[in-house]
C-alpha cells in the first residue's frame, strides 16, 4: 500500500497544538526573532503597526524593540516612509554557519524553483527536539494559495515534515517521542504510536508522505527528506509542498514527480 492509500491520518483525527507556550521562552528574545522572521517572509519595508498586527504584539512594545534594534545596528529606519527594514548586518550575521548548498544558496534557489513550478507554498523544516520547525517558507503564488507563517513548530510525530525528518531514526526513538508528546499534551489528545509507525513505514518505502489535514483541516502537505550532509552532520532537513487539500489531491503524482526532480537537480550533486 502506498502513502497515497494511507488513511490513518486525516481531518477527523486529533490536532495537537502547533506551538509551545510563550512562557517557555524569554518573551523579548522570542519577539525579536519573530520580527526578523516577519521580514524574511514579506521581504520589504514595513511600518510598526503592520508588524505589531501581523505578530499580535502590543504596538508600544514592538516600537521599543525596533528602536533597540536600530541602536544595535540590526534595523534601519526610513523617517520619510516611517518604515523599518533589517540592516545588512543581519544578512552577514550567519554567513559563517553551515556549508555546501546551505551557504551557496542552492536550497533557497531550489525552493524558489519549486514554488514557481507548483504554485504552492514550499516549506523547509528541521528537527527541534520534539518538534519539526519551519526554518524557511516560500509562499504560494496562486490567487488562492495557502499562506504559511514562517517559524511554526509542529510535533514531529504528527506532521508530514516531521515524519520525513524521522525517516532514518530508530523506531524506539519514535516511540519515545510519542510517549513524550502524550505526556506533555494539554488537551487530552493521545497519539497512537502504531499509527505513526505505519505512516513512517510507508514513507520509508515510497520516499514521501502526503499529510491530509493532519495539522490543519483542509490543508495538505507532501513532505520528503532531503539528502544528508547539507549542513552539520547531525542535522537533517525535510522539504514540503503545502497547499489546500482540494487542489493537491488531484495533482499528487505530478507534485511528487516535480519535488523529486527539483531536489535531484539542485541537491543531489552535493550529497
pTM for the whole structure: 0.73
Least confident range from 78-82, 164-168, 191-195: namely 78-82
**% of the chain beyond a pLDDT of 70:** 83
> With respect to CATH, is domain 3-20+97-270 assigned 3.30.450.40?
yes
**Which pLDDT does position 226 carry in this prediction?**
94
Q: Tell me: pLDDT of 229 over 70.
A: yes
Higher pLDDT, 155 or 99: 155
Q: For 14-50, how does the pLDDT look when each residue is reduced to its tens digit (9 = 90+)?
A: 333 334 444 445 788 889 999 998 998 888 999 999 9
Please list the alpha-helical segments (H only) found in 122-251. 160-165, 171-184, 193-206, 245-248
Q: For 70-120, how does the pLDDT look when each residue is reduced to its tens digit (9 = 90+)?
A: 988 889 889 889 999 998 778 667 665 655 566 677 888 999 999 999 999
**Which pLDDT does position 158 carry in this prediction?**
93
CA angle at 98 for the pair 92 and 102, rounded to the nearest 5° = 85
**Which pLDDT does position 174 carry in this prediction?**
97
Map out the domains of the chain as residue ranges: 3-20+97-270, 23-93
Q: How far apart are the first and last CA of the chain?
A: 29
**Which pLDDT does position 203 carry in this prediction?**
97
Q: At what angle do helices 59-72 and 27-42 cross, to 10 degrees?
A: 80
State the pLDDT confidence band at 221, using cuts at 50, 70 and 90.
very high
Cell 477527523 sits on residue: 12
What would the grid cell of residue 200 be?
Answer: 513512517
Question: Please, what's the b/e burial string for 61-97 (b: 16 or more CB within 10 A of its CB; e: otherwise)?
Answer: ebbebbeebeeeebbbbeeeeebbebbeebeeeeeee
CATH code of the domain made up of 23-93: 1.10.10.10
DSSP letter at 10? -
Amino acid at each position: 500500500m502506498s502513502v497515497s492509500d494511507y488513511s490513518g491520518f486525516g481531518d477527523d483525527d486529533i490536532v495537537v497544538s502547533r506551538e509551545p507556550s510563550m512562557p517557555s521562552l524569554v518573551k523579548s528574545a522570542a519577539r525579536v526573532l519573530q520580527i526578523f522572521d516577519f521580514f524574511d517572509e514579506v521581504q520589504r519595508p514595513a511600518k510598526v503597526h503592520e508588524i505589531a498586527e501581523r505578530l499580535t504584539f502590543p504596538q508600544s512594545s514592538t516600537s521599543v524593540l525596533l528602536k533597540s534594534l536600530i541602536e544595535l545596528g540590526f534595523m534601519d529606519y526610513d523617517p520619510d516612509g516611517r518604515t523599518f527594514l533589517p540592516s545588512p548586518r543581519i544578512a552577514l550575521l550567519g554567513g559563517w554557519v553551515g556549508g555546501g548548498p546551505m551557504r551557496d544558496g542552492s536550497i533557497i534557489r531550489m525552493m524558489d524553483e519549486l514554488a514557481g513550478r507548483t504554485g504552492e507554498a514550499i516549506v523547509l523544516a528541521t528537527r527541534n527536539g520534539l518538534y519539526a520547525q519551519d526554518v524557511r517558507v516560500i509562499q504560494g503564488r496562486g490567487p488562492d494559495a495557502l499562506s504559511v507563517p514562517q517559524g511554526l513548530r509542529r510535533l514531529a510525530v504528527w506532521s508530514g515534515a516531521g515524519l520525513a525528518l524521522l525517516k532514518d531514526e530508530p523506531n524506539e526513538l519514535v516511540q519515545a517521542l510519542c510517549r513524550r508528546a502524550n505526556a506533555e499534551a494539554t488537551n487530552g489528545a493521545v497519539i497512537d504510536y502504531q499509527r505513526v509507525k505505519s505512516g513512517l513505514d510507508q514513507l520509508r518505502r515510497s520516499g514521501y508522505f502526503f499529510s491530509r489535514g493532519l495539522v490543519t483541516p483542509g490543508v495538505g502537505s507532501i513532505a520528503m527528506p532531503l539528502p544528508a550532509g547539507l549542513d552539520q552532520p547531525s542535522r537533517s532537513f525535510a522539504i514540503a509542498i503545502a497547499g489546500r487539500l482540494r487542489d493537491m489531491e488531484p495533482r499528487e503524482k505530478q507534485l511528487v514527480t516535480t519535488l523529486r526532480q527539483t531536489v535531484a537537480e539542485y541537491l543531489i550533486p552535493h550529497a
